[in-house]
Structure 1
């Protein structure tokens, strides 16, 4: 009897194996390249290139990705309210009043920001909303002025008063209750240094979980590659030349002439040429040094390449506010992280592993 059962089991296994081989030999559908553009999230342009088996699959993936981006945009917004949405603006409005119960996507983003604060010695601080808000207001006023001569700057006293309300320890997160509380009533959060990058990372991970295997997502220049192209080649990204905005790939004799290989990597750049206003011929950009309370003056551009878009977003801001040697030491201490620093003397310095990612 035992021998008969063994023979039957062996026969059944052989049949299953044969069926598996037949299924495994079924040719895969060829993947086709599709593209789309969105204009309604994070106040910038979103572009996606993806390879899918059909246009229907691509459209389904992009609809879900777009809806995810819209949700993150609303959750991380510090300027606008949305029906039925408790967001970062809601947290700020309740500073010193009461804890606010929030979505897990806010909690996880804030936790990353706090970790990056510790990692960078406070060079990225989402609790600086009171200071950053002053610079935002002056920049907005400059955009409305008829003449550059009408533009003005905040006073040091004004900035220092606001800086008294930037203690990250006044950000109280209760993970069990899922609440966020700002214990200083004059404090406010500004998540511009982390929100978009973190959202891009989470959206791409969700797309991968839905079956997307090959894509390049760009949200205002925050690049995130999913997998490789169907032929096995890597996606490529470029670094905008901060001294000549029209140059990305045009000069093959410069570091900007080398496309950067990207497979499951993020490429993020912060620059003094992106958002700024001019007073007396001098440019005042949006990346504020927490030590001086004024626009950081070390670089014209900093680019970070690493596996996580949220971390890359945080690091570009933090490195922008660090002297070169300090920034290099930090980058070299982090696994899988590379960076490029572009200084005002028009010199580009890269981390030790940067060149290994350049397309040959």
Structure 2
């Protein structure tokens, strides 16, 4: 439901110039593109750990994907309205955190959005607005309040028949965080796990310089509007500028408010910085739905996270705890 687009600038260093080497691999996992970058003492070690990362992401995908029929989350969905399903503690904990965030945002973020009817089309085939009745019906099976968690039994039960949960980009963010932690435990001191714009970053480039990301200009998506260096942190961007439909002269983005069934309005891009990509993703998703005022209010309650919001009118808004000194290029859409 959310489009993410971040440009990463990596200054590739030769083995002869520096004591460490950089290995990068791009692959398709969890239904999207993953760019895996590992810095190690030698090429063999770097390549081996790229494979370790891919194996770990694949393991997580097989647990939580709602597209793989045999996954634990698919089993939960198939038994909606029927019975609770016992899941691994890892899956239970991830679901519990997602439900907690759903509560914090009042439903602006909701993992049960997977049950939403896809009545809005953004492939050029849509020529008229859905009816109010159709929009209301599209979200009738959405509602985190109907997710029943039993911590003692490690079970998940969806009360409503036909209800579904899905992690989407939140699951990708979780996977990037998990892989970063695994690499640090293995002694890999630097790298980037980038899941289509959900990034977990640590260490520095082989030349000792920080990693840099470029934030896309939402009004000119082929251009950057800012370069920001990163430390050991995560960054995610959610945007509505690549998929939309124009009906009756009005632009409707593909980001749907799970509470109402209508497209979110007001913001066209939200970039969040913080300790982990899972939470950063949930925040960027929520803020697109909540809008500037309520979104900033939520962000201000989480001091470890900061953000840059760009409105549909081109205004650039910073959260209170974002340091403008980090920016290497002026933010002017």
Q: TM-score range by the shorter chain?
A: 0.7 to 0.9
SS at match of 2:193: strand
Aligned residue number for residue 292 of structure 2: 324
Aligned residue number for residue 49 of structure 2: 61
Aligned residue number for residue 66 of structure 2: 78
Q: 2:77 aligns with which of 92, 100, 110?
A: 92
Aligned residue number for residue 239 of structure 1: 215
1:292 matched to 2:260? The reply is yes
Q: 2:134 aligns with which of 133, 143, 158?
A: 158
After TM superposition, list the pairs within 5 Å mapping 1:171-250 onto structure 2: 171-248=147-224
* Greater strand content: 2
In structure 2, how many angstroms separate the alpha carbons of the residues matched to 1:200 and 1:247?
26
Q: 2:25 aligns with which of 6, 19, 36?
A: 36
What whole-Å deviation, never above 9, does each CA across 1:268-310 have from its counterpart, x for those lacking one?
A: 0111134445556655433211343211011111111111100
The unaligned stretches of length 5 or more in structure 1 are 1-28, 249-255
SS at match of 1:239: strand
Q: 8 Å contact 1:37–1:45 — kept in the other structure?
A: yes
SS at match of 1:122: coil
Q: 8 Å contact 2:138–2:261 — kept in the other structure?
A: no
In structure 2, how many angstroms separate the alpha carbons of the residues matched to 1:219 and 1:279?
32
In structure 2, how many angstroms separate the alpha carbons of the residues matched to 1:70 and 1:305?
26
The unaligned stretches of length 5 or more in structure 2 are 1-17
Aligned residue number for residue 357 of structure 1: 326
Q: 1:341 aligns with which of 305, 309, 315?
A: 309
User: RMSD over aligned Cα, in angstroms?
Assistant: 2.3
Aligned residue number for residue 253 of structure 1: none
What whole-Å deviation, never above 9, does each CA across 1:111-157 have from its counterpart, x for those lacking one?
A: 221121222222111123332xx12x653xx64xxxx3665554321
Q: 1:302 aligns with which of 253, 270, 273?
A: 270
Q: CA deviation at 1:76?
A: 2.7
Distance 1:124 1:86, change over 3 A: same
In structure 1, how many angstroms separate the alpha carbons of the residues matched to 2:112 and 2:24?
37
What whole-Å deviation, never above 9, does each CA across 1:219-273 have from its counterpart, x for those lacking one?
A: 111122122334543211121111111112xxxxxxx23x212111111011113
Structure number with larger C-alpha Rg = 1
What whole-Å deviation, never above 9, does each CA across 1:78-121 have from its counterpart, x for those lacking one?
A: 2332xxx4332221111011111223332122122112122222
Q: 1:311 aligns with which of 262, 279, 283?
A: 279
In structure 2, how many angstroms separate the alpha carbons of the residues matched to 1:331 and 1:359?
23
Aligned residue number for residue 109 of structure 1: 94
In structure 1, how many angstroms separate the alpha carbons of the residues matched to 2:215 and 2:291?
21
| Structure 1 moving runs of 4+ over 6 Å | none
SS at match of 1:321: helix
Q: 8 Å contact 2:229–2:326 — kept in the other structure?
A: yes
SS at match of 2:34: strand
Q: What TM-score do you get using the length of structure 1 for normalisation?
A: 0.79
* Greater helix content: 1
Q: 2:36 aligns with which of 30, 33, 48?
A: 48
